[in-house]
Amino acid sequence: MSTTQTHNHLRRTTSNSTSAMRATEPHIHTAIIAGTFISAFPSLVSDPGSTLIWALPGLALLQAVYQVRCLRMLKPTPSGSGKKEVIGISSKIISSFLAILFATTIGAAALYVLLILFGAPATTHVFPTVLCAMHTALLAVAPLVYKYRLEGRVWREVLGGRAVVEECFAGAVGALGGAWVGAVPIPLGMDREWQKWPVTIVTGAYVGYMVGKSLGWAFPGKRLPL
């Protein structure tokens, strides 16, 4: 085998290995979230506020890395030809940071209001409710903002449930739907430790996010039957 053929073979092998690694990274991200949440669940039940606050920086970092490594942020070319070009790594890192910042401020504020409107305690448990909103925003809002930024047309589709299904959108739907389902056990009156606010809401958001994200990865290109 000639030197040129050897180099080409090595290049193809390296490229295939890199592609295979990149394909597994979304699943590694999901597995890390699952493992971390399972290990933290006893602490979440015993002390929700403290657990949510110490877990918040780790979740923010994990989502930031996931966004840069796993999500494809595309930008229209100036010619308006409809072709897309991949944005550079420095822009990805800045965009990821801004998406995390947006999610933990504006996104969390919006979700906090929704939690109150859907029955969260308005005058008590304020701090745990804020932390619940921030965790849910990092799961549901940050990846969407990173991928789609603030383009009005896309966000109208997202908010209307008409966006094409993929990891970010399906994960967001799963997180919000899971949080809503997680509220069901709270008023049942069994007085169990795990029923304290907002343990079941946070659990539902995390489980829903992981399920939705995995389904979005497995069945991309569909639309919700609305």
Nearest in space to 59 (alpha carbons), one of 209, 170, 174? 209
| pLDDT score at 35 | 96
pLDDT given for residue 88 in this prediction: 77
Average pLDDT over residues 185-195: 75
Average pLDDT over residues 55-66: 96
Contact of 141 with 104, CB cutoff 8 Å: no
Rounded mean pLDDT, 103-116: 96
Q: What is the pLDDT of residue 21?
A: 57
What pLDDT is attached to residue 102? 96
pLDDT score at 77 = 47
pLDDT, mean over the chain: 84
Tell me what pLDDT residue 36 has: 95
Helix (H) or strand (E) holding 84: strand 84-86
- Reported as a pLDDT band with limits 50, 70 and 90, residue 100 is very high
Which pLDDT belongs to residue 73? 77
Q: What is the DSSP letter of 123?
A: S
pLDDT number for residue 54: 95
Q: What pLDDT, on the 0 to 100 scale, is given for residue 199?
A: 94
The model's confidence at residue 43, banded by pLDDT at 50, 70 and 90, is very high
In this prediction, residue 219 carries a pLDDT of 83
DSSP state of 165: P
Spatial CB neighbours of 22, under 8 Å, sequence gap ≥ 6: 69, 70
Instruction: Kindly report the pTM of this predicted structure.
Output: 0.85
Res 4: pLDDT = 54
Element (H or E) spanning 205, and its range?
helix 199-218
